[in-house]
Structure 1
Amino acid sequence: MKIGTLISAGVLMLSSMILNSGCSEAGNGRKQTTENPGAIFGEVKSAAGAKMLTPIALRGDKKATGHLFFELSEPAEQEVAVTFKLDSRILDAYNQLNGTGYTMYPADKLLLENNGNVVVEAGKSKSATLALDILPGGREGATYAVAVSAVATAGTEKHMDNKAFIYLVKPLAAMPEVNAGRKVKNLCYVEVNRESMLNAGEYTMKSDKSPFFDIASVFAANIRLSADDVPYVSCNEQTRFVLDNIERTVRPLQAKGIRVHLSILGDHTAAGMRSLSKDAARAFAKDLKAYIDIYGFDGIDFDDEYSTYATDQAVEPYIPSDAVAPSIEECTSQRYADLVYESRKLMPDKTIGIYWYAGYDYPVGTVEGKTVDELIDYSIYGYYGKWKAIPADTVSIAKQCPYAIEVTTARGDVKIDDDCLKNIRQNGWGYFAVYDLNNERSYEKEFSRISRLLYDDEVEWSGKQYERTGW
């Protein structure tokens, strides 16, 4: 056989590890091929629903993390041991098949958790997730790739022809520090079902051209329950659009120094911030971390609305109906504090905020010696146009926004209470918030009015307007 033929055969073998072409399913996590009949078969996948070639950003001297798992085509008959490995051959084959020229990120800057070893338990089809740490070391502005393949072993059977996965890696400059001297930070919630995140970056301070908004929040992803009662992050089509296009929808804001958060909202199911057991809270925090890491968000907003228990249940503890899933226990503010604690433990460097409006829908309590005030960075009172605060012995006033406004143009003129803004500035309140920024008009006049009262400055609008799916 000629050398060229040998190379072609090798590329075809590796391409099957990328594309899984030419196989038929035979059940029980196996695939039928003429070369390896009955072999166990699965694929490497990314957590957080990330697609092949999802770009992971490395900002400055901070590491980034991908999250991978292994999934069989059907539940395993016996335990399957899986070993992930960094595999430049896969990337070479991908480049040859697609005419691309991606370079593998330096191997000495890549660390697979537990040496890449996971298991798929008998009766299940998925393994637990495993972290891929990506350390700083690439050239800023370049685009690299990380290809990960897997070997699956069950009993005496071993199979290497499993579908691989490729992340892109993009080293970026550190996020610029802006508005460092501000005593009052302001936050913008963007309804991504109909609006673009980019509009939040088009308002700047007249004096120094720094961003008007300190934080912009993607509103919203949801919390739901899987078929086996495990809480997970769920994204509708519009939120998924933001994630799938993260370089165009979020990175431009971060490049301006605006922190971008992901809001988490109930979704008309039994899962919510006040209803998770400790084990369920740990599981959800881990799933949430995968989203924050892979898509490079700077923080989280928890919003305890729209879960089935979150109606007008002002009396606690509220015991859900018999229809509630087994992982759900009594709904209390202490459960909420447990979730915040688990999230903080996994994400100590991220910002965690709380959105509330009913008066009982925020975390209360102490977890492992940590108070809610120690665990969160801010709280937003979301009954727009009204003033209300959480007791200062639960959340300090420097971490509170007791007054926020809605700017939806469909509801007429934007109502702004000057006295509330003066109160925020003069009495040590730390946050102000705007909900539902959209592209139907300019808010330069309203934001200048706010800015004069909070910062002795005015706001300028760039004149740019972005549709939900436009850049």
Structure 2
Amino acid sequence: MMGFFTACDDSIDVTSVDENQYTTSSDAIAYLVNNAGNRGTAMVEFRNQGQAEMYLASSKNAESDVVANLKFDEEVLHAYNDENSTEYELFPKELVSFNSDFQLKKGSNKSGKALVQFATSDALSAQKTYVIPVRVEVKSGSIKLSEKESVYLIFVKDLSTIPTVDKASGIKIISCMEVNDTNPLNNLCFTLKESGKPLIDIVILFSANINYNNETGKVYVYNNPNVQHILDNREKYLKPLQDRGMKIVLGILGNHDRAGVSNLADETARVFAQELKVVCDSYHLDGIFVDDEYSAYQNPAPVGFVSPSSAAASRLCFEVKQAMPDRLVCAYAYGSTSSLPDIDGQQSGTFVDYGIHDYGGSSDLSSNYPGMPKSGMALYSQEFNRGYWTADSNLENMRNDGYGSHMIFAMDPFRDNFDRQKQAMESIADKLFDDELVYDEKPFKKDW
């Protein structure tokens, strides 16, 4: 992304600089950031009306009072589409409003908030992602602007016509489905009595694989016959879930060869992220879940690979979010993905949306994924096949401490232990949502 900025009048001292100078420049350099700490892009889903909370931040304390504002700039999106070979559409300018200026006080490194507000329209499609491209313009004061990060893209989905799965407590339930055994439609069978909402918010299809092609020398996405059948028949198996407001996320797992989520060289990771985007685009998926298991890493690392590391895993997650800023990136807090370092100056918690603990894990993940809010941390994960349950008191503690996600793995009404599975989901309904589980007793068999 590139943008060029000029002052509103001759008395204002504004220049654009390359952000690579952040660590060496003695000047305060301003950039845009949202309330979650995301720089460059953010994703907002809304119904009827929505808003994005933006700030003008500075690498150093400002030497004078600065007043700046945001303006809609469609050229920012044109440049992004050209650079990334994408075709995102503009959100209608007439539906966007900016409610206030940035006020960056002398001696401060962050302004007060400015809201970008937007509204629904019959012309918007729930199946599309639109973009509100903005740039900052300084009205008074003296400050330098980062050329790249003084523009911002707000990716927007209008879900006004789709039911919401959001519950009052705000906690998200992630159902990781072992689709070799189980029909994902079973997530429709469980609702809450008082709210009528589905119990499940996010469904992970577990799992596609990252594989290496010996003939081409390239890494690619492999879907086993079960995963491929579900994707090829998404209208039957996935769309009904999305029509109820659930997100569908594709798991990416090692598959006993040299390729894995934690050993891709930077360029290999970028190319693989683009392939993941093609898969998500083709099957209308809502994101990716990375899991560092079952790879046969080689030492020394072959061409196109590096030694397995959390840095390489973080790079892949970063590149996936760069390729798909409008989709979820989820990481399993296990192996190399259990703790991810910064990439290109961005904290991993700003490009990984959910950090999902291994079974029973309960620690705060702030140091594992710096910048991640508690809402993205999934604690006390349960494994329904092998019987790794969690206590009601753990669910209560998780909620009371402000954590916002919980994962269940291998839910299946046809397993012999289903009564115990249902008991676990009843506890989730009670302790996390103050509600009662309703099971419709109409499970879906695996029919392929």
> TM-score, with normalisation over the residues of structure 1?
0.59
User: Which of 420, 429, 435 lines up with 2:409 in the alignment?
Assistant: 435
One-letter amino acid of the structure 1 residue matched with residue 330 of structure 2: G
Task: Report the number of matched residues.
Answer: 303
Give the letter aligned to residue 374 of structure 1. T
Which residue, 306, 310, 326 being the options, matches 1:349? Answer: 326
Which deviations, in whole Å up to 9, do the C-alpha atoms of 1:387-409 show, x marking residues without a partner? Answer: 3443436344332113110112x
Q: 1:184 to 1:250 in 2, by over 3 A?
A: same
CA positional deviation for 1:342:
0.9
Q: Which residue of 1 aligns with 2:178?
A: 191
C-alpha change, 1:426 and 1:130, in structure 2 (3 Å) is: closer
- Give the corresponding residue for 2:306: 329
Residue type matched to 2:230 in 1?
V
* Counterpart residue type for residue 334 of structure 1: A
Counterpart contact for 1:336–1:363, Cα < 8 Å: no
TM-superposed deviation, 1:438? 1.1
**Residue 389 of structure 2 corresponds to residue 400 of structure 1:** no
Of 223, 229, 236, 2:210 maps to 223
Contact preservation (8 Å) 1:401, 1:433 = yes
In the alignment, what sits opposite 2:352?
376
2:263 and 2:393 mapped to 1: Cα distance? 37
Residue 446 (structure 1) aligned to one of 391, 411, 424 = 424
| Aligned partner of residue 367 in structure 1, secondary structure | coil
1:277 matches 2:265: yes
Question: How far 1:131 moved relative to its partner?
Answer: 6.5
Task: Name the SS of the counterpart of 1:370 in structure 2.
Answer: coil
Q: 1:182, CA displacement in angstroms? A: 3.2
1:366 equivalent in structure 2: 342
Structure 1 residue 460, shift from structure 2 partner: 0.4
Return the alpha-carbon distance in structure 2 between the equivalents of residues 348 and 306 of structure 1: 28
Q: Hey, what does 1:289 align to over in structure 2?
A: 277
Contact 1:389 1:401 in 2 (8 A): no
Q: Structure 2 residue aligned with 1:175, among 143, 162, 167? A: 162
Summarize the Cα distance change of 1:223–1:174 in structure 2 as closer, same or farther, 3 Å threshold. farther
CA 1:139–1:259: 2 relative to 1, 3 Å: closer
Shift of residue 429, structure 1, vs aligned partner: 1.1
Pick the aligned partner of 1:300 from 272, 288, 307.
288
Question: 1:135 Cα deviation (Å)?
Answer: 10
Which whole-Å CA distance do the structure 2 matches of 1:236 and 1:135 have between them?
37
Equivalent residue, structure 1, for 2:151: none
Rounded to whole Å, the distance in 2 between the matches of 1:419 and 1:174 is 37
Larger radius of gyration between Structure 1 and Structure 2: 1
Unaligned stretches of 5+ in structure 1? 1-59, 62-112, 116-128, 142-171, 310-319
Residue 246 of structure 2 is aligned to residue 258 of structure 1: yes
Aligned letter for 1:191? E
Q: Among all aligned residue pairs of Structure 1 and Structure 2, give the percentage whose two residues are the same amino acid.
A: 29
How far apart in 1 are the matches of 2:445 and 2:123? 34
Quick one: which amino acid aligns to residue 285 of structure 2? F
Shift of 1:202: 1.0
In the alignment, which residue of structure 2 is the partner of 1:417?
391
What is the RMSD of the two structures over their aligned residues, measured on CA atoms? 3.1
Deviates more, 1:242-251 or 1:459-468: 459-468
Conserved 8 A contact 2:219-2:259: yes
Which residue identity does 1:238 align to in structure 2? Answer: N
The one-letter code sitting in structure 2 at the alignment partner of 1:210 is K
SS at match of 2:227: helix
Equivalent-residue separation in structure 1 for 2:208 and 2:347 (angstroms): 26
Displacement of 1:333 after TM fit?
Answer: 0.8
Q: Who is 1:467 aligned against?
A: 445
| Change in 2 beyond 3 A, CA 1:175/1:368 | farther
Q: What code does the residue aligned with 1:381 have?
A: H
Task: Name the CA shift for 1:466/1:230 in 2 (closer, same or farther; >3 Å).
Answer: same
> 1:181: how far off?
3.4
**CA shift at 1:134, angstroms?**
9.3
Q: 1:416 to 1:295 in 2, by over 3 A?
A: same
State the Cα deviation string for residues 85-110 of structure 1 (Å, max 9, x = none): xxxxxxxxxxxxxxxxxxxxxxxxxx
Instruction: For 2:345 and 2:85, locate their aligned partners in 1 and report how far apart those are by CA, in whole Å.
Output: 29
